[in-house]
Amino acid sequence: MSRPVMRTLPTLDTGRLTLRPFTRDPAEHIRAGDRTGRRWSPGYPRDDGRDVARMYLHAGADGPPHDPWFGPLQIVRCDTREVIGALGF
Structural contact between residues 88 and 26, judged by C-beta atoms closer than 8 angstroms: no
What is the reported pLDDT for 1? 47
Per-residue pLDDT of the chain (89 residues; tens, 9 = 90+): 444 444 567 889 999 999 998 888 999 999 999 999 999 999 999 998 899 888 888 877 555 456 667 778 899 999 999 999 998 76
Nearest to 58 by CA among 72, 40, 46: 72
Could you give the CA distance from residue 27 to residue 40 in angstroms, rounded to a whole number? 13
What is the reported pLDDT for 6? 47
Q: What is the DSSP letter of 40?
A: B
Burial (CB < 10 A; 0-12, 13-18, 19+), residue 51, is middle
The residue type at 85: G
